[in-house]
Amino acid sequence: MILVFNWKMNPEKLSDAEAILDFLRFAQDKLKKTCTETQSVEVWFAPPNLYFEPLRKKYNEFFDFGLQNTFYEQSGAFTGEISPKMAKNIGGEFVILGHSERKKLGESLEDINKKVLASLEVGLRVILCFGENVKLKSRENIIFEIKSQLKILLQDVPINSENLYLAYEPAWAISSQEIGPSSTEELKTFLDWYWQNYKFPIFYGGSVDSSNIENYLTLKLNGFLIGSASLKPEEITKILNIASK
């Protein structure tokens, strides 16, 4: 089970980020044992790219650190971008690509596909997000939408790519406190369809927290992508305890 905590554009200060990780480190003296030695739960953090290096240096022993985005070129004149090679060279273990919040800012599926290929090329683990933007009523419509997205997102990606993880995050369920499809049979049905068609490990994301994660644990998921709850250290501790039972 892999728990990926995506901090998005938070917290405002590096010291606040350190306070969260210090809390986790000290409050749970068994954290390291639970999370790394037994491999029952892996904990990955995706801080804002700016905090990546200091946090990785200080907490590398306890958590895996990755980036929230990388570009699709490895070098060149691209102001403001970070190449996958740079991310890898600085110790990045993984990158989140195609998050719905980035798509809202204009990132296209074609660009995300190029980013996936470029990041896999340098050996970064890739968490590739997908999911419908609005609540769709029928299962057929959801599957039609997802299939069309994945067709573009996975173009030229070898089906045996070991470093690729997919993350199903219906955009309407993100930070919405709406009950995701998990509480119904919908997510289970979706996952049955997914596993008949794809082999990449899959995470779920969308308002996952300590009050609902238990509902998802019986489903065929390899982990979770967690946003809002990841800024509350007590909440993370609860999630870890539930997930490692």
Q: Which residues are catalytic?
A: 99, 169
Instruction: With beta carbons less than 8 A apart as the criterion, state whether 1 and 42 touch.
Output: yes
The residue with its CB nearest to ligand 13P is 227
CA 225 to centroid of chain Cα atoms = 4
Which one, 83 or 207, has the nearer CB to ligand 13P? 207
Which one, 85 or 112, has the nearer CB to ligand 13P? 112
* Count of other CB atoms within 10 angstroms of residue 89: 10
Scanning residues 166 to 195, which ones bind ligand 13P (CB under 6 A)?
A: 169, 174-175
Say how far apart CA 99 and CA 109 lie, in whole Å: 11
Per-residue binding letters, 71-100, with ligand 13P (x by CB under 6 A): ----------------------------x-
Q: How far is the CB of 207 from ligand 13P (least distance, A)?
A: 4
Q: Is 132 in the site for ligand 13P (CB under 6 A)?
A: no
- ω before 84 within 30° of 0 (cis)? no
Residue with tokens 């982990």: 223
Q: Which residues of 127-161 are buried (b: 16+ CB within 10 A; e: fewer)?
A: bbbbbbeeebeeeeebbebbeebbeebbeebeeeb
Q: Is 221 in the site for ligand 13P (CB under 6 A)?
A: no
Stretch that binds ligand 13P, among 26-34, 75-83, 140-148, 203-211 (CB under 6 A): 203-211
Which one, 20 or 226, has the nearer CB to ligand 13P? 226
Say how far apart CA 156 and CA 93 lie, in whole Å: 22
Which of 70, 83, 119, 207 lies at the binding interface for ligand 13P (CB under 6 A)?
A: 207
Q: Which residues here bind ligand 13P, judged by CB under 6 A?
A: 6, 99, 169, 174-175, 205-208, 225-229
